[in-house]
């Protein structure tokens, strides 16, 4: 479908950028029934909204004129939630309205307000800005809205979520009553509809969201990761997909700093984006991504608003988004303008239920899988090497002459091996990861597949398993109780503690090996375990240096000591060891009239005379 009849200057701009046919949202705003009206538009991120409202505003701003006249008070005002998005919108409108001679200026936080004031005094046809900075210029008298014909609110839902309601209302109240108001939002929540009713007149509601197939250009994957292995999983996901540009999301600024440092240490070309950065640092980081000098960007949700990276093919949620809108906005950074993208959620077993609920609420079907293994990544590296353009592109005669000279002194195998070493030297090494089998098995059962059962008599051709000593979890032997030190980790049954992932975690954090670990005792809110005395000092120092807020390891007393009283043993009527169920106070012991036990003091906690003497 070709573009409908539009202003000749805008048509030339679209042709120069290679636009052959409109996206659904662009076609909807150019329909005859939308001409000259206020618009309330719901469209997916990356659906071409900027060009859509630029085209929709064209007839109002230009009319029958070929070009704009001398710049003065702005004719159009575009409000965006973040400076990155505002700058991106200004860039898009600049090329779209360039043949019409439009002057586009920006007013965003973090930039020099005096430069913006001078630009507004000179005059502009279109002003793009963030709510706070636009409000400042309006109150200082720098921004004159008297000639305004069109107001556009881009990503209005985000502006309300970020607390810009009062700023928006002040700006809209200052605009002429007869202007057109175009409101674009990813979702039409109740607050958006209320804002539209107050500031729009007879608005046409347009919804181009494909709810039956919400993310056709984005492939979602949920990858199981062991607790505290998120950082390693990010490394392997980046290496497995090898996207020209990737975006890693963390929920906090501290998370961004830590992930950025970890990836840079491993050799990735990475930049970080968070709200604490100065504008110049943010601009330099984005330019490095667009120029190809950096391949990975680690960012918070707010810092990544409005990012439009043409080569962005991979989004990684290192921290699970807090809600459905966050998931969709993050993932919407990829799969834009018809290009395909991959969105990966890293899910530990403690967050699995949260991830499933989030995906279900967003209407997204994700493929669940284990983390990419080091062998899988190396296999893909082989394929990528054989398909590398340096081997497939035609060779220059100068290069062939040098190649013949090299082959005079080296064999073909030696030259190929050197090429492989050079190729591998620029690739960060993949990590060995643990795949939580409990999550995999439970997912298989929930999909209706029969649960596999084990029959000891059906061993097939497998040899008999050799007898093992009575060591826990298959270790060769139990450590001597007199030669161990007890430690505790702040994870227990309440967080699905399991030796299958606890042992690799203890080894990695404590810099020990499996034989150094003795018995493991799991309680409701903690797990106690033995470390051999030979490795205890090194272990204590290592876990202290790698302490995290989520999982903490520290010295402890043995189970049954003062910090972990033994669970009481009951002799019920049925002899099943369960406490008897009674109503009312416990029966008194001793002769009639004797005082009963103190309230809140279970009998098993009372000290005997022998214990008091000791």
CATH of the domain at 272: 3.40.50.300
Identify the CATH number of the domain in which residue 541 sits.
3.30.70.330
Task: Name the residue among 218, 235, 239, 158 with its Cα closest to residue 192.
Answer: 158
Task: Say what the pTM is.
Answer: 0.55
Q: Are residues 25 and 153 in the same domain?
A: yes
Inside any domain, residue 416: no
Decide which of 311, 342, 373 is a domain's last residue.
373
Last residue of a domain, which of 207, 235, 269?
207
Q: Phi-psi category of 46—alpha, beta or left, where left has phi over 0 and alpha has psi -120 to 50?
A: left
Whether residues 148 and 70 fall in one domain: yes
78, 50 Cβ separation under 8 angstroms: no
Domain boundaries, position 526: 474-555
452 within a domain of the structure (yes/no): no
Residue 386 in any domain: the answer is no
Longest dimension (CA), the chain: 111
> So what's the pLDDT on residue 450?
46
Question: What's the pLDDT at 343?
Answer: 93
Angle at 55 between CA 50 and CA 57, to 5 degrees: 100
Indicate whether 144 and 248 sit together in one domain.
Answer: no
Tell me, yes or no, whether 134 and 250 share the same domain: no
Residues 295 and 362 in one domain: yes
154 and 277 in a common domain: no
Alpha-carbon gap, residue 152 to 150, rounded angstroms:
7
Domain membership flag for residue 614: no
Q: Total structural domains in the chain?
A: 3
Pairing of strands 296-299, 484-489: unpaired
- Do 262 and 232 fall into the same domain? yes
> Per the domain annotation, does 315 fall within a domain?
yes
Whole-number pLDDT of residue 182 = 94
274 and 347 assigned to the same domain: yes
pLDDT digits (tens, 9 = 90+) for 203-252: 999 887 654 444 567 899 999 988 778 899 999 999 999 888 899 999 88
Give the C-alpha separation, 594 to 555, whole Å. 44
Q: How far is CA 411 from the centre of its chain?
A: 48
Report pLDDT for 131. Answer: 93
Residue 60 shares a structural domain with residue 109: yes
Using only C-alpha atoms, the chain has a radius of gyration, in whole angstroms, of: 32
Q: Domain boundary at 504, 528, 555, which?
A: 555
Asked whether residue 133 is domain-assigned, the answer is yes
Residue pair 322/351 in contact (Cβ under 8 Å)? The answer is: no
Do 46 and 116 fall into the same domain?
yes
pLDDT of residue 363: 85
Cα–Cα distance measured from residue 467 to residue 267, given in angstroms and rounded to the nearest whole number: 46
386, 419, 542 from 392: Cα distances, Å: 8, 14, 48
- Triad 436, 439, 443: Cα angle to 5°: 145
Q: Which residues in the chain land under pLDDT 70? A: 1-2, 44-46, 209-216, 303-306, 308, 310, 337-338, 434-478, 545-550, 561-614
- From 370, 281, 367, 332, select the one nearest 84 (Cα to Cα): 281
pLDDT tens column, 375-384: 899 888 888 8
Do 63 and 176 have their domain in common? Answer: yes
Check whether residue 190 and residue 226 sit in a common domain.
no
Structure tokens at 529: 């375990």
Taking Cα atoms as reference points, which of 449, 230, 433 lies closest to residue 347? Answer: 230
Domain assignment present for 530: yes
- Quote the distance between the C-alpha of residue 509 and its chain's center: 25
Residue 140 inside a domain? The answer is yes
User: Cβ contacts of residue 142 below 8 Å, gap of 6+?
Assistant: 116, 117, 120, 121
């Amino acid at each position: 479908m070709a573009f409908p009849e539009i202003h000749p200057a805008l048509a030339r701009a679209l042709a120069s950028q290679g636009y052959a046919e409109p996206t659904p949202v662009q076609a909807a705003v150019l329909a005859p029934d939308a001409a000259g009206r206020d618009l309330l538009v719901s469209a997916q991120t990356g659906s071409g909204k900027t060009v859509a409202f630029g085209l929709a505003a064209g007839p109002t701003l230009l009319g029958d004129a070929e070009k704009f006249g001398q710049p003065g008070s702005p004719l159009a005002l575009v409000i965006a939630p973040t400076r990155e998005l505002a700058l991106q919108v200004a860039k898009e409108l600049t090329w779209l309205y360039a043949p019409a001679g439009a002057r586009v200026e920006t007013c965003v936080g973090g930039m020099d307000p005096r430069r913006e004031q001078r630009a507004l005094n000179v005059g502009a046809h279109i002003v793009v800005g963030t709510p706070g900075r636009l409000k400042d210029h309006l109150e200082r008298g720098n921004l004159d809205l008297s000639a305004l014909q069109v107001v556009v609110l881009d990503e209005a839902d985000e502006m309300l979520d970020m607390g810009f309601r009062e700023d928006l209302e002040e700006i809209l109240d200052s605009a002429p009553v007869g202007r057109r108001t175009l409101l674009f939002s990813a979702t039409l929540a109740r607050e958006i509809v209320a804002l539209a009713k107050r500031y729009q007149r007879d608005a046409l509601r347009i919804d181009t969201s494909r709810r039956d197939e919400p993310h056709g250009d984005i492939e979602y994957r949920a990858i199981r990761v062991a607790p505290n292995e998120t950082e390693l999983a990010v490394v392997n996901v980046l290496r497995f997909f090898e996207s020209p540009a990737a975006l890693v999301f963390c929920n906090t600024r501290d998370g961004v700093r830590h992930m950025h440092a970890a990836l840079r240490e491993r050799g990735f070309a990475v930049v970080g984006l968070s709200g604490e950065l100065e504008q110049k640092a943010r601009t330099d980081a984005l330019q490095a991504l667009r120029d190809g000098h950096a391949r990975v960007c680690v960012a918070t949700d707010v810092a990544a608003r409005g990012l439009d990276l043409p080569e962005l093919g991979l989004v990684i949620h290192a921290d699970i988004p807090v809600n459905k809108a966050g998931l969709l906005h993050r993932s919407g950074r990829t799969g834009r303008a018809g290009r395909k993208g991959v969105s990966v959620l890293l899910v530990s077993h403690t967050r699995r239920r949260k991830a499933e609920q989030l995906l279900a609420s967003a209407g997204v079907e994700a493929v669940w899988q284990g983390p990419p293994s080091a062998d899988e990544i190396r296999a893909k590296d082989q394929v990528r090497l054989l398909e590398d353009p340096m081997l497939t592109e035609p060779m220059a005669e100068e290069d062939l002459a040098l190649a013949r000279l090299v082959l005079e002194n080296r064999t073909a195998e030696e030259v190929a091996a050197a090429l492989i070493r050079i190729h591998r030297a620029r690739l960060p090494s993949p990590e060995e990861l643990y795949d939580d089998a409990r999550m995999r098995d439970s997912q298989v059962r929930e999909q209706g597949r029969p649960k596999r059962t084990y029959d000891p008599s059906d061993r097939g051709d497998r040899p008999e398993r050799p007898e093992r000593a009575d060591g826990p979890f298959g270790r060769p032997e139990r450590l001597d109780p007199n030669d161990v030190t007890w430690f505790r980790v702040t994870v227990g049954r309440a967080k699905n503690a399991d030796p299958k992932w606890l042992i690799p975690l203890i080894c990695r954090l404590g810099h020990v090996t499996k034989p150094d670990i003795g018995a493991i005792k799991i309680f409701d809110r903690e797990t106690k375990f033995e470390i051999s005395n030979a490795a205890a000092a090194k272990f204590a120092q290592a876990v202290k240096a790698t302490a995290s807020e989520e999982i903490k390891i520290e010295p402890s007393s043995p189970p049954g000591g003062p910090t972990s009283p033994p669970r009481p043993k009951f002799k019920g009527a049925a002899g099943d060891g369960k406490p008897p169920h009674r109503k009312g106070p416990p029966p008194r012991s001793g002769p009639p009239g004797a005082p009963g036990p103190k309230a809140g003091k279970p009998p098993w906690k009372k000290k005997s005379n022998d214990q008091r003497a000791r």
